[in-house]
Amino acid sequence: MAVEVVAPMPGTIAEILVEVGDAVNADDELIILEAMKMENPILAPSSGKVAEIKVAEKDKVDTNQVLVVLE
């Protein structure tokens, strides 16, 4: 079952820390989201494998926009 990781707030993708195919554990950092001049780590909600990355570095994202899909 796929798990979508979404942006908790609007911001800019500062860094993508994973690649498609990477195995991740719950609470691993996936993406750094820059918002309100702060860097906010986006964490994996559960263990799984990165199936899809839907953003690129420097992309502007909105609240609840899907960033990464885990399977």
33, two tokens: 């989201």
Nearest-10 Cα torsion for 57, 63, 11, 21: -20
pLDDT of residue 1: 80
pLDDT tens digits, 13-56? 999 999 999 999 999 999 999 998 999 999 999 999 999 999 99
Q: Strand 38-43 vs strand 29-35: parallel, antiparallel, or unpaired?
A: antiparallel
Task: Identify the structural domains of the chain with CATH numbers, from first to last.
Answer: 3-70 (2.40.50.100)
pLDDT of residue 28: 98
Q: Could you tell me where the beta strands, DSSP code E, fall in the chain?
A: 3-6, 11-16, 23-24, 29-35, 38-43, 48-53, 60-61, 66-70
Q: Region 63-70: what's the mean pLDDT?
A: 98
